[in-house]
RNA sequence: GGCCCCAUGGUCAAGUGGACUAAGACACCGGCCUUUCACGCCGGUAACCCGGGUUCGAAUCCCGGUGGGGUCACCA
């Protein structure tokens, strides 16, 4: 059996959003599962909307998600180039071949005329369709247009009767009535660039793509492409139209819906492991109760048969939960690796941390990581471990610092910690328990003010984890500062 | 509007004619654990869009309706 070849073909007009990422993921999964080849191709035939930086942005996002491609721009491969604007000659040649075979014709209508025709059709309540006006131009008429210097676009001579059936791996047979489903659509623009429905077919064929896996929005394009395949004499690939990802208001994803770009999730502190895991679960399921799965496990389970047909609405809450799962269960080294930039951006950790500094960061992260959902939350929640200049939570101050005798209690705690020789979890806790017993107070009466004193917060890791992580020196200094602060509170 | 796709809790989703008194997860609500907050554990609320068929039997098959989505560019 021939090697399976799939491709992800984004157009560099913006950043990669989660819908595109999911399509890329399914292609990648299918390739990896079947020992196939995953091709990346850039569809940049729209010179108007092309954004220079977008191509590299998309590539780096894919890399970040660890969706690596076997052939593509930057990487090369036997079917290159992998950028459509560099394949113009190929499209021109194939279009010419089609023109000569009578499968296509020159259209001299201007975009303005066409827009007007559409408008008129719409007014009359008719379906806007190209009239076919230029299809039957005589040679003289054609020459006249050429003489006027009009650059023609190329239209395909589409069949106007019969049906076109698309064989789809997730939807089965889908048939389209040729009389009403499309008209003589343009395959080459007057500027010499191919349109999507043409370039896509030429590339998929010449790149040996065996399975076209893409979002459902392309399903109604498929009969058009199918006609191009036939007209050019290409064999048809397998098609699989995967369900779309919709915004929470059930509409198509757009920038209007807040964070939809993968990069935004990255900035908010989501891990690639979590994003990829969540995306895999949107429109696909392993068939059992598994949810938190690494890419390797997903690959082993993946199949187009188990891809669902209906669109899925994405739910940030579940993504956030998965993110939290990874944050607390991934090897600590990995969490430190991805978290470090967030600490550095806040100037909590130096740009080139020393070994002891890294050791400290690691201990802090390990103490805090089960309580937060994102890396932003992680850095925020542990900020006070890295600065002596942290504020005290206002509500906490009212609750714990204004009680009678707090200064005394903190002072006793400080004295107890000062006496501890081996600054461990067991010893520090033992010292504190003794204070509690001696003073005849509840544990909370000492523990809560101390947490506030040491971290400025009322929530967070277990108190003795905080104490041991900070170390004796910092603890004593922070308690001194808090005791002074408590005194000013009363005044 | 034409064409196409889809339809299980708020969301993801299992289910492929009898094991459905319909899994599981997120979210939500209780409780337990605990020095706080989380984590974890236990429990709860909540769904087969509607109407016709087919069948001994339908969430599952067929038809119609309704609803949602997509698409109808010299965009991809």
Give the model confidence (pLDDT) of A411-463 as tens digits. 999 999 999 999 999 999 999 999 999 999 999 999 999 999 999 999 999 99
The mean pLDDT value for A233-240 works out to 97
CATH 1.10.8 domain locations along chain A: 331-386
Residue A353 pLDDT? 96
> Looking at the predicted structure, is the pLDDT value of residue A3 above 80?
yes
Rounded distance in angstroms from the CA atom of residue A208 to the C1' atom of nucleotide B13:
35
Residues A60, A44: Cα–Cα separation, whole Å: 17
**Who's near A84: CB < 8 A, 6+ residues apart?**
A41, A42, A43, A44, A45, A194, A199, A203
Per-residue pLDDT band for A286 (boundaries 50, 70, 90) equals very high
Q: How far is A319 from A372, CA to CA, in rounded Å?
A: 13
Residues 6+ apart with CB under 8 A from A86: none
Q: Which of A88, A224, A255, A403 is catalytic?
A: A255
Do the Cβ atoms of A52 and A275 come closer than 8 Å? no
Q: What is the pLDDT of residue A332?
A: 97
Backbone φ/ψ region at A105: left (φ over 0), alpha (ψ -120 to 50), beta = beta
Q: Which nucleotide is nearest to A324 (CA to C1')?
A: B39
Per-residue pLDDT reduced to its tens digit, A248-278: 888 888 777 766 899 999 999 999 999 999 9
Q: Quick check: A116 pLDDT over 70?
A: yes
Å between CA of A413 and C1' of B33: 26
Q: What's the CA–C1' distance between A172 and B61, in Å?
A: 16
Q: How long is the CA A462 to C1' B33 vector, in angstroms? A: 14
Nucleotide with C1' nearest the A446 CA: B35
Q: What is the pTM of this model?
A: 0.94
Looking at the DSSP bridge assignments, the partners of residue A245 are A312
Nucleotide in closest CA–C1' contact with A317:
B26
Query: Is position A317 annotated as part of the catalytic site?
Result: no
For the four alpha carbons of A115, A116, A122 and A127, in that order, the dihedral sign comes to: negative
For A301-353, the pLDDT digits (tens) are 999 999 999 999 999 999 999 999 999 999 999 999 999 999 999 999 999 99
Q: Are A253 and A245 in contact (CB under 8 A)?
A: yes
User: What CATH class does A394-490 carry?
Assistant: mainly alpha
Give the closest nucleotide to A194 (alpha carbon vs C1'). Answer: B74
Residue nearest to nucleotide B23 (CA to C1'): A289
Nearest Cα to Cα of residue A407 among A456, A444, A450, A437? A450
Q: Assign A119 a pLDDT band (cuts: 50, 70, 90).
A: confident
Name the protein residue, with chain letter, whose CA is nearest the C1' of B12: A282
**CA-to-C1' span, A142 to B29 (A):** 75
Q: State the nearest residue by CA to the C1' of B7.
A: A310
- Domain A331-386 fold is Helicase, Ruva Protein; domain 3 (1.10.8)
Mean pLDDT rounded to a whole number for chain A:
93
Residue A322: which nucleotide is closest by CA–C1'?
Answer: B26
Q: How far is the CA of A319 from the C1' of B27 (A)?
A: 12
Q: What is the pLDDT of residues A47-98, one digit of tens each?
A: 888 888 999 999 999 999 999 999 999 999 999 899 999 999 999 999 999 9
What confidence category does residue A11 fall into, taking pLDDT thresholds of 50, 70 and 90? very high
With a cut of 70, say whether residue A1 has pLDDT above it: no
Q: Which CATH number fits domain A5-85+246-313: 3.40.50.620, 3.40.1160.10, 3.40.630.10, 2.40.10.10?
A: 3.40.50.620
CATH of domain A87-242: 3.40.50.620
Residue range(s) occupied by CATH 3.40.50.620 in chain A: 5-85+246-313, 87-242
Protein residue at shortest CA distance from C1' of B68: A250
More confident: A219 or A490: A219
In tens, the pLDDT along A346-378 reads: 999 999 999 999 999 999 999 999 999 999 999
Give the pLDDT band (50/70/90) at residue A490. low
Q: Is the pLDDT of residue A491 over 70?
A: no
Q: Look at residues A82, A430, A446, A39 and name the one whose alpha carbon lies nearest to residue A210.
A: A39
Distance spanning both ends of chain A, measured CA to CA:
85
């Amino acid at each position: 059996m021939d090697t399976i070849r799939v491709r992800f073909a984004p157009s560099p007009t913006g950043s990669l959003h989660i819908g595109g990422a999911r399509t890329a993921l399914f292609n990648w999964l299918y390739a990896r599962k079947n020992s196939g080849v995953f091709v990346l191709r850039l569809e940049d035939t729209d010179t108007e909307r092309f954004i220079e930086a977008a191509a590299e942005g998309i590539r780096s996002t894919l890399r970040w998600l660890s969706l690596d491609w076997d052939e593509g721009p930057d990487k090369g491969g036997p079917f290159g180039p992998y950028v459509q604007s560099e394949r113009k000659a190929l499209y021109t040649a194939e279009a010419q071949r089609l023109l000569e075979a009578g499968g296509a014709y020159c259209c001299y209508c201007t975009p303005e005329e066409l827009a007007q025709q559409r408008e008129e059709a719409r007014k009359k309540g008719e379906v806007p369709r190209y009239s076919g006006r230029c299809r039957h131009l005589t040679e003289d008429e054609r020459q006249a247009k050429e003489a006027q210097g009009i650059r023609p676009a190329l239209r395909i001579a589409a069949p106007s009767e019969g049906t076109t059936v698309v064989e789809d791996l997730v939807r089965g047979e889908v048939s389209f009535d040729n009389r009403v489903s499309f008209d003589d659509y343009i395959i080459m623009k007057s500027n010499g660039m191919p349109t999507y429905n043409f370039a896509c077919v030429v590339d998929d064929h010449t790149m040996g793509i065996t399975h076209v896996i893409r979002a459902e929005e392309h399903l109604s394009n498929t009969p058009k492409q199918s006609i191009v395949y036939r007209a050019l004499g290409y064999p048809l690939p397998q098609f699989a139209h995967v369900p779309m990802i919709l915004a929470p208001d059930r509409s198509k994803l757009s920038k209007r819906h807040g964070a939809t770009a993968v990069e935004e999730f990255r900035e908010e502190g989501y891990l690639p492991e979590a994003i990829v895991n969540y995306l895999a679960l949107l429109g696909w399921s392993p068939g059992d109760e598994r949810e938190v799965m690494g890419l390797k496990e997903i690959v082993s389970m993946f199949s187009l048969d188990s891809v669902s047909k209906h669109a899925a609405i994405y739910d940030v809450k579940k993504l956030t939960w998965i993110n939290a799962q990874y944050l607390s269960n991934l090897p600590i080294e990995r969490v430190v690796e991805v978290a470090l930039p967030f600490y550095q951006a806040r100037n909590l950790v130096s740009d080139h941390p020393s070994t002891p500094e890294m050791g400290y960061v690691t201990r802090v992260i390990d103490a805090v990581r089960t309580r937060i959902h994102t890396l932003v939350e992680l850095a925020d929640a542990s900020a006070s471990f890295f600065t002596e200049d942290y504020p005290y939570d206002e509500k906490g101050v009212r609750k714990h610092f204004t009680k009678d005798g707090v200064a005394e209690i903190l002072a006793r705690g400080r004295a107890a910690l000062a006496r501890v020789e081996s600054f461990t979890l067991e010893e520090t806790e033992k010292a504190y328990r003794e204070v509690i017993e001696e003073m005849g107070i509840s544990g909370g009466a000492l523990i809560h003010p101390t947490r506030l004193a040491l971290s400025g917060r009322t929530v967070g890791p277990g108190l003795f984890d905080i104490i041991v992580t900070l170390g004796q020196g910092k603890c004593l200094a922070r308690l001194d500062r808090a005791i002074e602060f408590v005194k000013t509170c009363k005044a």
